[in-house]
Structure 1
């Protein structure tokens, strides 16, 4: 009887491990793309100095699956700047190649956070070269340049605020106050290299910077179309739509009140504070469990 029970436990454990690995591989393929395994090996395995050491706040935040929620919130928040949104709508290809854009962004974050200093510098130079080629005219007639330090700063602070808030709510190990300030200061290192001038270095400075941009922000037609694309009609398989809906709801629930009407986002305070938060917390934990499965040597 004992041997039979032991055999059943072994079979069950093997089945769970197989499911965990399949989920890990599917998620990694979506986020990192076909070059993901090769990039991962170089990012984490190549010898050389890094910008940020083990244990740094930026590594803790960017290495946690709460980034899935933070990334969605960041995209929604960034869209509220008309010039930044005009550049994204005209040049990013987010509709035609949304997964490619996600993969490029996730690879950049991984390289600058965990990769060698040499590879991080190369990644920054590549992005700056792309930004240098992007310019145009918004629907209101104003010109824009992707390399404009003022627009770069908005994109940066929207990302940092979103990643940090998502980590504090859904991360495995939320930061203390000093850790939050360290995170903002460490992200400023990358921001300056990208061309941002005077990026915030504390959480208070971050909140002040966002407040300074508020007079420039509004919900344009392009911004509302982007929000609808992200939240209602994303190009994802049917099997992934329910989990994605939970992540999307969690991202919306973390948006400031002043962003809701411009983007036509719903506001359901009771549901957001209970059902959405519980569901998203459980999903982020499940994704963390799957993504932490050992990777074959």
Structure 2
């Protein structure tokens, strides 16, 4: 890349020293993303925004790849690319609405409480799957990750001050929103699709062998109340954690550069832009842990204010 390229040294929104940079390169994020879809579908108002505005059954893989591309862009792309991706999402959302079939109410999909649910279900899933699968995150680093991810929330149109900034606030949010969740018809449509997405006849065996296991593991990692809402018994958490740990070992045994060749290749592009030292690495997290876990540092990551989050209205 030319030395005169204006983006040559741009670390993007998070940069190579962030928890986001290290964690989003982990292969277990694919399983975490499927868990997030299962969880997001349990908010009736939020899931209608998807089912009523997209043909997700016929373009499911395209939708998943577009979501992965967005996360990759804002995680590893230049600041300009991340801001542009966020503006595109906000622009699309302002044009979309959903209708409550019970009341006839029409509402925008960009209502702050809906955007907040989608955000929290996503980052909460990323953290839960990463940590249970053996990714080395201390409590302080988990809090730092949630604080960093308020930038992602800003990109989709949320006020960062209205977004949980640490694990305590995230847990409080999930407790508060629990009464709004239900497994309506749309959630069961998403559930059915994720268990058996449409594929060509030749790919059916691969779907059953590979995708079926991914979806089953992602679903099993849901919190107990989600299993209850979907109407299936929750597996023992310890057994799920063992399965997540085994999957993490298997996927992380694949050479990183081979994994990063998969589209859209944002990590390799970031390394080309910033140099090989920008490579995501668990070692960096272990090195940071000694600093972040010093007394008082966890509170410094979010300004020392554990009550700053407020529900948007």
Same fold, TM-score > 0.5, yes or no? yes
Unpaired runs of 5+ residues, structure 1, are 1-44
Q: Which residue of 2 aligns with 1:259?
A: 226
Mark the CA change 1:267 to 1:49 in structure 2 (over 3 Å): closer, same or farther: closer
Aligned counterparts, 1:1-297, within 5 A: 47-141=9-103, 142-170=105-133, 173-197=135-159, 198-235=162-199, 237=203, 238-269=205-236, 272-273=239-240, 276-277=243-244, 279-286=246-253, 290-291=258-259
Distance 1:241 1:270 in 2: 24
Residue 165 of structure 1: CA displacement?
Answer: 0.8
* 3-state SS in 2 of match to 1:160: helix
Distance 2:176 2:8 in 1: 41
Distance 1:207 1:270 in 2: 18
* 3-state SS in 2 of match to 1:91: coil
- Larger deviation: 145-154 or 269-278? 269-278
* 3-state SS in 2 of match to 1:195: coil
Q: Which aligned runs of 4 or more in structure 1 are off by greater than 6 angstroms?
A: 293-297
Q: Which residue of 2 aligns with 1:7?
A: none
Residue 281 of structure 1: CA displacement?
Answer: 3.3
Confirm or deny: 8 A CA contact 1:50 1:115 kept in the other structure. Answer: yes
Residue 52 of structure 1: CA displacement?
Answer: 0.9
CA RMSD of aligned residues (A): 2.6
Confirm or deny: 8 A CA contact 2:98 2:109 kept in the other structure. Answer: no
In proportion to residue count, which structure has more helix? 1
Q: Which residue of 1 aligns with 2:4?
A: none
Residue 292 of structure 1: CA displacement?
Answer: 5.1
* 3-state SS in 1 of match to 2:30: helix
Confirm or deny: 8 A CA contact 1:250 1:277 kept in the other structure. Answer: yes
Distance 1:265 1:131 in 2: 33
Residue 240 of structure 1: CA displacement?
Answer: 4.7
Q: Which residue of 1 aligns with 2:293?
A: none
Distance 2:239 2:195 in 1: 15
Residue 55 of structure 1: CA displacement?
Answer: 2.4
Distance 1:286 1:264 in 2: 35
Confirm or deny: 8 A CA contact 1:64 1:288 kept in the other structure. Answer: no
Mark the CA change 1:61 to 1:274 in structure 2 (over 3 Å): closer, same or farther: closer
Specify which structure has the bigger relative contact order, considering alpha-carbon pairs within 8 angstroms and separated by 6 or more residues. Answer: 2
Distance 1:202 1:270 in 2: 23
Confirm or deny: 8 A CA contact 1:72 1:251 kept in the other structure. Answer: yes
- Equivalent pairs counted in the alignment come to 252
Q: Per-residue CA shift, 1:24-58, capped at 9, x if unaligned?
A: xxxxxxxxxxxxxxxxxxxxx85534111212111
Distance 1:288 1:57 in 2: 21
Unpaired runs of 5+ residues, structure 2, are 1-6, 263-267, 273-313
